[in-house]
A and B are shown apart, each in its own frame.
Chain A
Amino acid sequence: NAGVTQTPKFQVLKTGQSMTLQCAQDMNHNSMYWYRQDPGMGLRLIYYSASEGTTDKGEVPNGYNVSRLNKREFSLRLESAAPSQTSVYFCATRSVVNTEAFFGQGTRLTVV
């Protein structure tokens, strides 16, 4: 059981480049989340998906898009990367409300 797997672990992009962060879970969870972690700002919700086929904006969605491809996978896309998107990105999953969220190991993204 891998749990929650994020790829890649590290990435350096040039300003304006695009990329997709992948998240896959084998826990059969309904809800999936993307957060970014920045010093002094904690974990901020970018997008979430309460169930397969639905997605909703979080606190900081600008500059990002998401796709809930199926129950297992939830991807985050940066169409035109900016230095302000330099951060550590975490994917998380939960089965239902009021249950534990399980996190991936994070993706460290640097935009130069």
Chain B
Amino acid sequence: AQRVTQPEKLLSVFKGAPVELKCNYSYSGSPELFWYVQYSRQRLQLLLRHISRESIKGFTADLNKGETSFHLKKPFAQEEDSAMYYCALEETSGSRLTFGEGTQLTVNP
């Protein structure tokens, strides 16, 4: 069965520091991976997906199939980045979308 693991429930950094949110997955096929973000009092929304290879709000994520990871990175964190971040995996054979446990990021001034 597919599984997504985010080992850090809480992550706290200072403004301007680099930040990395970890995501590991287990899936026998070729996965499609996403990062979603939930800001305070807002709906969960897509941040980025690996197939697009894009940088959104300064965040990037690289799929490492050897390590089965899809870590989210930003070189200089901002206070407005404080939010709950979820890694998600879509199985290629269907539309099932599985999320990880989430990481609450706090960026301190």
Contacts and interface: CB of A to CB of B under 8 A. Distances in A.
Interface in B42-101: 43-46, 49, 51, 86, 88, 90, 92, 94-101
Interface residues of B, number: 23
B102 A31 contact: no
Contacts, number: 57
Contacts of B97: 33, 45, 48, 92, 94, 101
Interface residues of A, number: 27
A31 B96 CA distance: 9
A62 interface: no
Contacts of A98: 32, 49, 51, 90
Q: Which 7 residue pairs across A and B have the least CB separation, nearest first?
A: A42-B101, A43-B99, A103-B44, A100-B46, A42-B102, A31-B95, A50-B95
Given A43-B99, A97-B94, A103-B44, 19 more contacts: A30-B95, A31-B95, A41-B101, A42-B86, A42-B100, A42-B101, A43-B102, A48-B96, A48-B97, A50-B94, A50-B95, A92-B44, A92-B97, A97-B92, A98-B32, A98-B49, A98-B51, A105-B43, A106-B43
